[in-house]
């Protein structure tokens, strides 16, 4: 006999139905849109990320989630410094482009204004509210994604105050500024 409040085994939706229901439900949670970037040799790698969070203030730490088969994830096995650009309202095209599956590995940042982070060497997108540069503290698998936690090496505010970008209901949307 099941415990009170615990559904009987097999009472939930089929696995694929649960995935669809979970995706649809989580799309209702607005998430900040960022770009995670790193540099391996002379090659820049970047990806749009919405699963980013502050972890700790002392010491300053942040995390992001990356699909286990993403190029950025592969490079993280060899490179331990990376950066997060907190995108501003004008960075929608860059966010969409860097979220496109199957984009070329080389030249990902061509036509996207950026500069180098002094602490990480990674590309920092100019159209950003701020930047956080990190060194990987640990990586842990979580299903089809890996959670990457980094110690913050530097954090800076960007020059813009144009609002930000959020991912909501499956789309990138502008969050107005002040």
- Distance, in Å, from the CA atom of 158 to the CA atom of 126, rounded to the nearest integer, reads 8
Task: Write the pLDDT tens digit of every residue in 23-61.
Answer: 899 888 889 999 999 999 999 999 999 999 999 999 999
- Is 46 part of a structural domain of the chain? yes
CB neighbours of 141 closer than 8 A, spacing ≥ 6? 68, 147
Query: Reduced to 3 states, what is the DSSP secondary structure of residue 97?
Result: helix
Instruction: Pull the structure tokens for residue 88.
Output: 């501003």
- Is 88 part of a structural domain of the chain? yes
Residue 74: domain span: 32-169
Task: Write the pLDDT tens digit of every residue in 91-120.
Answer: 999 999 999 888 888 899 999 999 999 999
- Distance, in Å, from the CA atom of 3 to the CA atom of 38, rounded to the nearest integer, reads 49
- Distance, in Å, from the CA atom of 169 to the CA atom of 178, rounded to the nearest integer, reads 23
Task: Report residue 4's pLDDT band, with 50, 70 and 90 as the boundaries.
Answer: low
- Is 150 part of a structural domain of the chain? yes
Q: In what order do the strands lie in the sheet with 60-67?
A: 43-49, 34-40, 81-87, 128-142, 145-157, 60-67, 52-57
The whole-number pLDDT of residue 177 equals 76
Contact 125, 113 (CB under 8 A): yes
- Distance, in Å, from the CA atom of 44 to the CA atom of 72, rounded to the nearest integer, reads 10
Q: Pick the residue with more confidence: 141 or 16?
A: 141
- Distance, in Å, from the CA atom of 62 to the CA atom of 41, rounded to the nearest integer, reads 24
- Is 5 part of a structural domain of the chain? no
The whole-number pLDDT of residue 101 equals 84
- Is 17 part of a structural domain of the chain? no
- Distance, in Å, from the CA atom of 97 to the CA atom of 178, rounded to the nearest integer, reads 27
Number of domains in the chain: 1
Task: Write the pLDDT tens digit of every residue in 132-164.
Answer: 999 999 999 999 999 999 999 999 999 877 788
Task: Write the pLDDT tens digit of every residue in 114-136.
Answer: 999 999 999 999 999 999 999 99
- Is 2 part of a structural domain of the chain? no
Residue 94 burial (C-beta neighbours within 10 Å; 0-12, 13-18, 19+): buried
- Is 22 part of a structural domain of the chain? no
Q: Pick the residue with more confidence: 84 or 26?
A: 84
**CATH number of domain containing 155:** 2.30.110.10
Query: Quick check: 174 pLDDT over 70?
Result: yes
Beta strands in 6-97 (DSSP E): 31-32, 34-40, 43-49, 52-57, 60-67, 81-87
The whole-number pLDDT of residue 82 equals 98
Residue 80, Cβ neighbours under 10 Å: how many? 13
- Is 125 part of a structural domain of the chain? yes
């Amino acid at each position: 006999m099941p415990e009170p409040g615990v559904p009987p085994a097999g009472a939930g939706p089929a696995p694929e139905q649960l995935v669809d229901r979970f995706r649809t439900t989580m799309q209702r949670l607005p998430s900040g849109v960022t770009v995670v970037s790193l540099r391996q040799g002379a090659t820049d790698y970047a990806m749009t990320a919405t699963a980013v969070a502050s972890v700790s203030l002392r010491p300053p730490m942040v995390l992001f989630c990356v699909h286990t088969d993403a190029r950025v994830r592969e490079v993280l096995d060899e490179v331990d410094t990376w950066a997060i650009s907190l995108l501003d309202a004008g960075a929608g095209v860059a966010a969409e482009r860097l979220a496109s599956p199957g984009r070329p590995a080389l030249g990902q940042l061509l036509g996207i204004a950026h500069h180098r982070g002094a602490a990480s060497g990674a590309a920092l997108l100019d159209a950003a509210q701020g930047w956080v540069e990190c060194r990987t503290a640990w990586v842990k698998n979580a299903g089809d994604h890996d959670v990457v936690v980094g110690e913050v090496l530097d954090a800076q505010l960007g020059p813009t105050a144009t609002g930000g970008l959020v991912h909501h209901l499956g789309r990138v949307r502008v969050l107005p500024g002040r």
